[in-house]
Structure 1
Amino acid sequence: MNVVGISGGPDAGGRTSTAVAAVLAGAGSAGATTRLIELGGADVADVVAAIDAADAVVFGSPVYRATYSALLKTLLEATERGRWGETTQPLQGTAAATVLTGASGHHFLAANDLRNVLAGFFAVQVLAPGLYFDHSAYVDRSTLADDGAALAAAHGAALVDLAAAVRGSAALSALVPQV
């Protein structure tokens, strides 16, 4: 089982990377091989290739102006869906988890937007509920408090289970975007 974590924050090692790494730690404890990719400075084609090779993906982003980051939007816009002449669909039949971070709890509904794009537009099986951590969930920039770390680890383990279920089901793996 190969799980890739994508951190859509502009700063390496920021709160979003910390949260995605905590989900990956839970996936690793469940037996998965994990890799964290920080989008700031990453080559989009290389990231899409990593997604294509993954059994599951953790999408993380800080919330800016009530939505996920432009870096993550750029990645998703560069990811084909196998429609309208596109030749690849790296996310189709993949399991995913979402983790968003923000300054306060006021922006937690941004997680719904990301989930809807992944599930509806890309036919991804998205682990629900998604995670949202505000600043109160951290001890410092690179450390989640115990409750948040435990919750992120549980999501990572659940993502491994979901990915195994999706990969083991011809019906789930075959679902495609409707439009």
Structure 2
Amino acid sequence: MSELQVVGVVGGPEAGGRTATAVAGVLAGAAKAGAATSLLELSDRPVTEVVAALGAADAVVFGSPVYRATYSALLKDLLERTERGRWGETTAPLQGKVAATVLTGASPHHFLAVDDLRGVLAGFFAVQVLSPGLYLDHGAYTDRTTLTGDAADLTAAHGLALADLTTAVRGSAALRALTPLV
């Protein structure tokens, strides 16, 4: 099999924020497992380019800050504009893929927002989603672009697990063939 391709997609309003730092930590773990990784920020990329990257990837790390107890409008827009091969759509770039979720917030109060994103990815797109999702608040950072040692270890562990899950899904025709029911 060819090298795993893992893309990180960050739905923050500006490039280089805490969410990008957390997603980069997951990508670093996937890279330790031998995956080729790239990071795309929705704040400075056209959605069409990001959708194309989803189609080329084996796995995706979806990252977003939490606003009003859910993931960002930028990430919602991406998901709304991503076809799933239903109702006349001609592509399904997430079909047969694996995803990890990384949400960030100012406090631990919104950690359940991870479940909302997981539900959309698993139910609506039939993506195999790594569990549990990650939620990091400001206590996981020493500054805007540096994770604490424990948070860096945690994100890297998720990246390693994502690579393992992706390898398993790539080896299963049945898992790759699952499609949304409706």
Which category of TM-score, normalised to the shorter sequence, fits these structures? over 0.9
> Normalised by the size of structure 2, how large is the TM-score?
0.98
**Alpha-carbon offset, residue 11 of structure 1:** 1.2
**Percent of paired sites with the same residue:** 74
Mark the runs of 5 or more structure 1 residues left unpaired by the alignment.
Answer: none
Query: Residues 34-45 of structure 1 correspond to what in structure 2 (within 5 A)?
Result: 34-45=37-48
> Normalised by the size of structure 1, how large is the TM-score?
0.99
Equivalent residue number for residue 84 of structure 2 = 81
**Deviations 1:99-133 (Å, cap 9, x if unpaired)?**
00000000000000000000000000000000000
Structure 1 distance, partners of 2:58, 2:179, is 17
**Alpha-carbon offset, residue 47 of structure 1:** 0.2
**Alpha-carbon offset, residue 41 of structure 1:** 2.3
Q: Indicate yes or no: 2:105 matched with 1:97.
A: no
Amino acid at match of 1:60: G
SS in 2 for 1:40: helix
Mark the runs of 5 or more structure 2 residues left unpaired by the alignment.
Answer: none
Instruction: Kindly report structure 1 stretches of 4+ aligned residues shifted beyond 4 Å.
Output: none
Q: Which residue of the other structure, out of 152, 170, 180, is the alignment partner of 1:177?
A: 180
**Deviations 1:45-99 (Å, cap 9, x if unpaired)?**
0000000000000000000000000000000001000000000000011000000
Q: Which residue of the other structure, out of 3, 8, 13, is the alignment partner of 1:10?
A: 13
Amino acid at match of 1:79: T
**Deviations 1:1-30 (Å, cap 9, x if unpaired)?**
000000100111100000000000000011
Q: Which residue of the other structure, out of 18, 24, 27, is the alignment partner of 1:24?
A: 27
SS in 1 for 2:62: strand
